[in-house]
Amino acid sequence: MRDTVRGAIDIHLPNPESCIIPPHMHEPSARAPNRFDLPEWAGAFGDLGTLIPFVAAYVSILKMDANGLLVAFGAALIAAGSIYRTPFPVQPMKAIGAAAVSQSALAAGLGAATVVAAGLTTGLLWMVLAASGLGRRAAGWVPRAALLGVVMGLGFSFMLQGIGMMSGSPGIAGLLLALTLFLLGRPRVPAMLVLLVLGAMIALAGQPDLVRDLGALKPEFRLPGFAWGTLSMNDLWTGFVLLTLPQLPLTFGNAYIAITEENNRLFPDRPVSERAVAYSTGLMNLGASMIGGIPMCHGAGGMAGHVQFGARTGGSSIILGSVLLCAGLFLSTSIVTVFRMFPPSVLGVILFMAGLQLALGSRDSGAEKTDRFVVLATAAFAIWNVGAAVLFGILLHHAARRGWLRI
């Protein structure tokens, strides 16, 4: 049964119980071919709400070279779409990004080398979790109610972030959101592409100098350099302690357990395993750090964004990856100018709709009252901290099963 998006409200999702699939069913021959039609093109850009702000912050604040950063993202997305054949996302690791560009981090002297080192140590850590099976065994300890709560909380968090981004231009954002909701009920009209065109028009109207800056762009082909050779032991230690370890609980909840559940719920004919996700997380971070990229993960919210705007195969990931790869190879010195074409009001609408899609996927019609309580309570914690939500959900689940809770 395939998820079908007919509108912002009329969204039919498969029964979550139908997604309990044996781990051995991962033969590529059983998977649908990737498509590159108009819905896949529209869905390809459904994750820009998180991608653009973080990439812009790394480039403008930490002065990281967008060349290796964008090439790494592009290559990872193309690989994910080709291997998984679903709208499998690749996103910046949010805790690392927020910590790396904070005022305290800048005051402490953390820079691009520390971020690259965090990517390297993150990749090594996830390769160990995948090869040893520790990640899969740890995922088995998370009860379903706690997992649904994490997914719901992530959805609410995305929606709140989207509202925050829209608040700067509430009138324009309100009209764009209403138009998006209207267009999602008409599958023949690609809502995302309409939204991006309108966003570009708003950006050009509000920034008269943007036309001049865009006209001055000169494509220049560049290949990324080898970044590992410049890292010191201090970079590796600092990146691991201050960036990699604090990110681990968030990645475990959102970009490991939740993305596996979300993929297998939406696309039961193309399931993924926790071990495969752990390996791909490790490999793409090793590759990204080698060419000066940033730490990346497979966030469940990214898949929700792609699906919300029409994506149903890995073609959307390949499309976005190809765009980012070309941008990294030819426009890396001007990417901040290009990003100015996407105003916060548009990015906020995209993020809000992704959160809505994700939160809708957290329902479980057969849940008992105590399970619903665990879902809602865990969701509240997930808005604040996903790692704490996972732990809280596990504890609450077992407390309910032992009769310590009277709901």
Cα distance between residue 266 and residue 304, in whole Å = 10
In the block, residue with structure tokens 């309409």: 194
What is the C-alpha separation between 361 and 268, in angstroms, rounded? Answer: 14
- In one letter, which amino acid is 26? H
Residue 28 DSSP symbol: G
Q: How far apart (Å, rounded) are the C-alpha atoms in residues 28 and 75?
A: 20
Q: How far is CA 390 from CA 33, 68, 95, 240, 303, in A?
A: 35, 33, 16, 22, 20
Token readout for 403 is 């009769």
- The two beta strands, 4-5 and 296-297, are unpaired
For β-strands 296-297 and 91-92, DSSP reports them as antiparallel
Determine the Cα–Cα distance for residues 213 and 362; give it in Å rounded to an integer.
44
Q: How far apart are CA 151 and CA 259, in angstroms?
A: 9
Per-residue pLDDT of the chain (407 residues), as tens digits, is: 334 333 333 433 334 333 333 333 344 445 679 999 999 999 999 999 889 988 998 998 888 999 999 999 999 999 999 999 999 999 999 888 888 877 666 666 778 999 999 999 999 999 999 999 988 888 777 777 777 777 778 788 888 888 888 888 989 999 999 999 888 877 778 889 999 999 999 999 988 899 899 988 889 999 999 999 999 999 999 999 989 988 888 788 888 988 999 999 999 999 999 999 999 999 999 999 999 999 999 988 899 899 989 999 999 999 999 999 999 999 998 998 999 999 999 999 998 888 878 777 666 555 565 676 677 677 777 776 667 777 877 887 777 777 776 55
Give the residue carrying structure tokens 């105590």: 370
Distance CA 199, CA 202 (A): 5
- Residue with tokens 């596996």, as numbered in its chain: 260
Dmax of the chain from CA atoms? 68
pTM of the predicted model as reported, rounded to 2 decimal places:
0.80
Which phi and psi angles does 115 have, rounded to 5°?
Answer: -65, -45
Residue 11: strand pairing partners: 5
3-class SS of residue 296: strand
Instruction: Give the pair of three-digit tokens for residue 18.
Output: 């139908």
Any idea of the CA torsion for 188, 88, 290, 329, to the nearest 10 degrees? Answer: -10
By the 8 A CB rule, do 92 and 296 touch? yes
